[in-house]
Amino acid sequence: MTTGEGAHEAAPPRVASRPASPDDCSIVSRGLTKRFRGGQVAVDDLHLAVPRGSVFGFLGPNGSGKTTTIRMLLGLMNPTSGGCEVLGRPMPAGLSAALPKVGALVEGPAFYPYLSGEANLRRYDAADPAADPRTVTSRVGSALDRVGLGAAAGKRYRAYSLGMRQRLAIAATLLGPRELLVLDEPTNGLDPQGTREVRSLIKEIAADGTTVFVSSHLLTEVEQMCTHVGVMRTGRLVAQGPIAELRDGHALRVRVESPQPAQAASVLNQLGLADVRTGVDEVTAELGAVAPERVVAELVGDGVSVRGFAVLRPSLEELFVGLTGEGFDVDG
Amino acid sequence: MSTVRSAETATPPDVLARPAEPHAEQAAGPGVAVAVPPRRGPARAALRLLRSELTLTFRRPRNIAMLIVLAIVPVLIGIVLRVVGGDGEAPSLITQVAGNGLMLTFVALSLLVQLLLPLAVAVVAGDAIAGEASGGTLRYLLTAPAGRTRLLAVKFVNVAIFGLVACMVVALAALVTGFVLFPVGPVTLLSGTTIPLADGLLRVLIVTGYSAAGMAALGAFGLAVSTLTEVPIGAVAATVVAVVFSQVLGVIPQLAPVQPYLLTSWWASFDGALRDPVATDVMTQGLLVFAAYTVVCGSIAWGRFSGRDITS
């Protein structure tokens, strides 16, 4: 796990648990860079490695270059320098071989308002030269059913609610057998119930062995469904790897609730815990290599009355703030 | 892409450890239910996309409305000619309508091909790429993946077919109106000779086809404009303005040397079909101009569209 600002300068961030072999990855990018005509660098020297079969959360505040990256991965934009491979094919040269096996939702749903949901899916299916027209009815039907739009299939898209439109866009990614789904903000516009459904749908799809690359600016969403994350900040990938490892890289803290905070603090200091902070009726410290049960035993042994004890796992939000140095949704 | 290549070769152990056929493993991989897509003919896949395109074009209320207007105008022309009657001062073609209803077809086409038919074609052509871009559907078509060259080719064929249908609607409406309002019989041509009615109908077909070819050339022009913008109405307006501008140039006598190069100068040059035998020289020249416009505009459209960043 490589984290922090210097990551892009030294070595590309690596997936520590697995060797970053391009063959194990559904998406690989090397030095992917996009500089717009105005000189603005939207994506800067990106080294992505999305392992096959993972649910990869592509995190970052709005405007951090997530969508531009996705557009380059899908061959909609040409990189200024560097390159990327999707399902082992270089993009955009290998586009026609790779994309039939990729379902994509880019920057929100877009359909023909005067067509029904079903006719819209047929339209996109007709654009895929690898799709078999003989099975289109059943494939469209099952995609609609899968996102819960079966009953609204004949309704014009114009009459769809925002949530239905988002579902239809997800249905469009499920028209064929896919090896990779690229979902850009898939839960935008969905109510909490819809969000939960999409999350379980993604888990279901991933369980079939499909790699899911999902971008989001909502940390909790990613935390609940992803196995891996990549964190973007102003066009740079500041961290990527398995979510558990990303957590492990960060210090666990203990919190001791006690009416004798000073005494508790001295015990923690004796145990060699770092960053001991004393508050009102509580003390927190970095756990380091010390076993939590030993901390409790020492406290009790020294006669400190312990009212509460907890090991604090850093939330993804805290990790993210640590990585990007700022909160979410505020980046320009 | 060179960085990707070099990095790939930099991991030989993995390459050696893997089976020779990279897809064998993934197809047999546990739980990966991905069938190898059946190899279907590219021509059949393109036809399927074209069919989808045609369905969109001919079901779209706006386009249907344009075709209805195109069908009404020949009827109006017929009624006006019937009521006013052939007075001697009108152009020869128009006076002939009173004598033979078949002539209404040529009158209607030669009038409509100047502005109303180009307008309809400009709407469909200008909307072709820019409309998909502004609606966001272009990105989904391209990630399907429709293929940029293929999509452009299908869009052009679609516009050309729309132009043909529009010309046929005008011809048919005029034919029916002419048959209802005027006497019909053997046709007296501009060259003075008279041909049987069946032969006359064949001449109608030739003129309709020629008009459609002119509209296809305009379609290529509109398509090229359409690749330059994400605002469909802008592409349509630009195409129509180009047509009007070209027609203005066409009536300024001092610009006579330029006129053979203008697309609009050739649209109504189907007089040759009304002579006996059919005078092919002017029409052949016209068709060559149409082909040249189609090739040049098609190349511009392809050059612009094939490598462009899709930001919509």
Whether the predicted pLDDT of B164 surpasses 50: yes
Residues of B in contact with A40 (CB under 8 A): none
* Secondary structure of residue A79 in the 3-state scheme: coil
Q: For position B86, what pLDDT does the model report?
A: 54
Q: Which residue is associated with the tokens 């086809």? A: B209
Question: Closest Cα to residue A140, out of A108, A118, A110?
Answer: A118
pLDDT-derived band at A61, boundaries 50, 70, 90: confident
- Give A243→chain B minimum CA distance, Å: 23
Radius of gyration of chain B (CA): 25
**Highest-pLDDT range among A120-129, A234-243, B14-23, B25-34:** A120-129
Interval B111-123: pLDDT, tens: 999 989 999 999 9
pLDDT-derived band at A31, boundaries 50, 70, 90: very high
pLDDT-derived band at B10, boundaries 50, 70, 90: very low
pLDDT-derived band at B180, boundaries 50, 70, 90: very high
Interval A245-303: pLDDT, tens: 777 766 778 888 988 888 888 888 888 888 888 888 888 888 877 888 888 888 888 88
Between A313 and A46, the higher pLDDT residue = A46
Q: For position B42, what pLDDT does the model report?
A: 82
Distance, in Å, from the CA atom of B312 to the CA atom of B300, rounded to the nearest integer, reads 20
**Highest-pLDDT range among A306-310, B22-26, B176-180:** B176-180
Between A274 and B31, the higher pLDDT residue = A274
Tell me if domain A5-248 and domain A253-313 are identical in fold: no
- CB pair distance less than 8 Å for A108 and B136: yes
- Fold of the domain built from segment(s) A253-313: Alpha-Beta Plaits (3.30.70)
Q: For position A247, what pLDDT does the model report?
A: 72
Distance of CA B137 to the CA centre of its chain: 22
Q: What percent of chain B has pLDDT over 90?
A: 63
- Give B30→chain A minimum CA distance, Å: 8
Average pLDDT, integer, range B243-261? 92
pLDDT-derived band at A332, boundaries 50, 70, 90: very low
Contact B71, B169 (CB under 8 A): yes
Q: For position A324, what pLDDT does the model report?
A: 67
Least CA distance to B60: which residue of chain A? Answer: A114
Distance, in Å, from the CA atom of A282 to the CA atom of A312, rounded to the nearest integer, reads 13
Give the start-to-end residue ranges of the domains of chain A: 5-248, 253-313
Whether the predicted pLDDT of A328 surpasses 60: no
Who among B32, B51, B59 is closest to A209 (CB)? B32
Mean pLDDT of chain A, nearest integer: 84
Residues of B in contact with A126 (CB under 8 A): 48-49, 51-52
Contact A87, A179 (CB under 8 A): yes
Q: For position A22, what pLDDT does the model report?
A: 61
Who among B40, B141, B307 is closest to A127 (CB)? B141
Residues of A in contact with B37 (CB under 8 A): 100-101, 130-132, 176
Distance of CA A52 to the CA centre of its chain: 15
Give backbone dihedrals phi and psi of A182, rounded to 5 degrees, phi first: -110, 110
CATH superfamily of A5-248: P-loop containing nucleotide triphosphate hydrolases (3.40.50.300)
- Give B135→chain A minimum CA distance, Å: 6
* Chain A to chain B Cβ contacts (< 8 Å): 144
ipTM score for this prediction = 0.80
Who among A21, A124, A208 is closest to B33 (CB)? A208
Residues of B in contact with A30 (CB under 8 A): 3-4, 7
Least CA distance to B16: which residue of chain A? Answer: A23
Q: For position A137, what pLDDT does the model report?
A: 94
- CB pair distance less than 8 Å for A209 and B30: yes
Least CA distance to A36: which residue of chain B? Answer: B309
Interval A168-181: pLDDT, tens: 999 999 998 999 99
